Structure 1
Amino acid sequence: MKSGCFFFCIPFACVFTYYCLDKFFNLDWANAFNNLIVFAAVIILSVTGLLFYDRIYTLVTIIVTIFTLCYLHFIGKKEWIGKASFVYLVLMPGFFAVNGILTGSLIQSPVVNYNPDEFMGIRMGTIPVEDAVYGYSQFLLIIYFFKKLTESKEQKIPSY
């Protein structure tokens, strides 16, 4: 039950942070970088995928992230990718703290262990770099569904 709360509380906190920063600050400037973010990410992830195609965690993370970015940008025509990317950067210190505890050696046995044969082996402290990329795609998808749900709710509310 405790781990189930993690998967509810963390995404909720991320959406709440996005909503508050978007509500109280003008972050529209970040959307000017949508094309650059998608182009650079797809190129970097594609090259990394070609180099590490035999690492399952790396490959799945790359495929999910490329698909998410391409869907949001090219099919969904979402204009908020830059804003969401900036908010994700703001969330990174919390990500490092929580994920560092889960994967770290500060405790006797870490909560999360990774098979070194299944990821690139590049770590940010104790955290595999793939976790940050996976977290980014998860964050984009959560924001997408949050906006989808709030848009449909706003359309149902009659205006007087």
Structure 2
Amino acid sequence: MLMNLTRMRAFRWREYVVPIYKKYKLKITWGDQDIINIIFHYHPDKLYIYSCRFNYRPDHCMYASVCKPAEKDGVAVIHGSRGFFHSEKQPVFQVVYKSFEEFQLGGDVYREFYQSLEAYLEAAQNNNCWNVRDIFLKNIRRYMDLDFDNT
């Protein structure tokens, strides 16, 4: 979740949190996430909902591809919720994490990151997320094309 702290202060965010906690503390399961959801339930005009491509999770591809914006424009932000970056349950998420972990900032993005990620994705077969693996490469390709145009 991205938060504009200036707007949150103007909204007086802190004045809502404690009363909501006191009122719902025996009914909430997810702690701060539930409190945030309750606040936005009463103030939906204060919330901007991003496309699923800005919070791409395993749920978006594990059974079938359900994030059409990511299919069209690529994943913008990948969310390794529930430990999927460190789990073999969804190898695609694990190899994306591995590629970022191995890449040294300042290195050659094409050779040391993109080609590595592409090879890892190709090897991470046999699951539905693999079927849409290209969505993890689209924005990197776009970035590299822009970079190559400027040289």
**TM-score, normalized by length of structure 1?**
0.26
As a proportion of its length, which structure holds more helix? 1
Report which structure shows greater RCO (CA 8 Å, sep ≥6).
Answer: 1
Q: What TM-score comes out, normalization by structure 2 length? A: 0.27
Larger Rg: 2
